[in-house]
Structure 1
Amino acid sequence: MTDKPAILLVHGFWGGAAHWGKVITELRSRGYPDLHAVELPLTSLAEDAERTRKMIAQIDGPVILVGHSYGGAVITEAGNHDNVHGLVYIAAFAPDAGESPGGISQEKPPAAFENLAPDSDGYLWIKQEKYHWSFCQDLSEDEGLVMGVTQRAPLASTFGDAITDPAWRNKPVWYQVSTDDRMIHPDNERRMAGRMDPRKTIELPASHASLASQPQAVTDLIEEAVHGTKESWVHRLTDALRGKHD
């Protein structure tokens, strides 16, 4: 157990835990030793949330949950765990009860919606030749190529899975909008952020992959969540340390 909360990073569709690489190194350089990144199965919201809950339960102490893209829906579903002290959304879905990422996207389709292609096994991909333009146009073509080739496609049915008990109604929230997002319409991001009454919302001139193109600004927001929840997680750490000495 450290004198700072653990940070658990949750990826979205068409990527994996490695998409957090630049944020991870930035957090470590700022003195955060207790870092975790879940690898989601991307088979259903229930299974993805359960995988995240299991990781939360393995952490001995307070946790800040950070979700990118569909990972925002996952932290919304999994974030009511007692160990969770704050939620950070990075260009992410933040559905309310009964809402799904797919339903939100259909209300205001993003620019790259037409570049999604299902396969014969029920998985939904970004067309590889369209990945750079769709997902990460502010990264280099080589980075976009690697992301496109290594993308992790979700089961298409996961798009329609609805939230049951949104954690953002019970936990403090921070939100980052990507103004050049082509995977989630920026106005959808603004709408979802606004109704959560976040402690802070920032807008970055970034693609959907802001976690990779602007890791310093994303890390700044995560740090604001750490500082903004300090009273609660310090109290939790103090109680835990006191219990170890009793």
Structure 2
Amino acid sequence: MTGDDDRALTKEDLKDQVRTIILSQGNHFIKELLRQHSIKIGTTKKDFAKNIADAIEDGTLTQEKIETWLEEVEGWGNQHLYLFEAPTVATAEVDGLLADSDHKNLVGKGQSFDFPEELTLSSIVCDAVGLSLIWHLGKEGWDRAKSKDYVKKIGLDRYRFGAYRQRMDRSVVRFEWRFADKHCAILIHRNKDIDHDQAMAIVWEVVQGFGLCEKPCARLSLSEAV
């Protein structure tokens, strides 16, 4: 989030960064960050923007809190791990294969704040150590909100309506291949709405499209990989 030098952002820089997140994601996801820190959200877009700015100004919402929230979903915890044999392509050829692909614009791209409704390749990192492919996905969930329940009479009958508040969850799927290892891995964020077979099929379709392998690599057990 802070660029290559991990510098501290000014409050104005931080506000600009939040605006970037909202521009790409809408305000759905960042609402969860505000709720985590008991920051008032407001009822209109104007209220929402003002409350975020005020929280940054008074130090309630800091660079550290925003970075931690962004990294929660990008980290290595809370994920399912699947191991496979490493692709057989020569590692020296990987850079060229990526450069010739339809996704070359994602190579070296910085952190993406976009979490679309469909699993989408968002960034590619390739260096002397290995290759990392990252997909983003945004899914809605619903939390029970009993305080918003109400009873209404319709005709001669009374009806009770149970309320649920929309929650937007961010998820990540990764393909990781350290060139020194004889295995690679697919990591899928723990989200019950993600179909793992479907997610892995999407990963392998892209990996094969790069020319890294002709078919999905053979699955390994953890004991076989260590």
TM-score above 0.5, yes or no: no
1 or 2, which has the higher strand percentage? 2
1 or 2, which has the higher helix percentage? 1
Q: What's the TM-score, normalizing by structure 2?
A: 0.27
Higher RCO (Cα < 8 Å, 6 or more apart) = 1
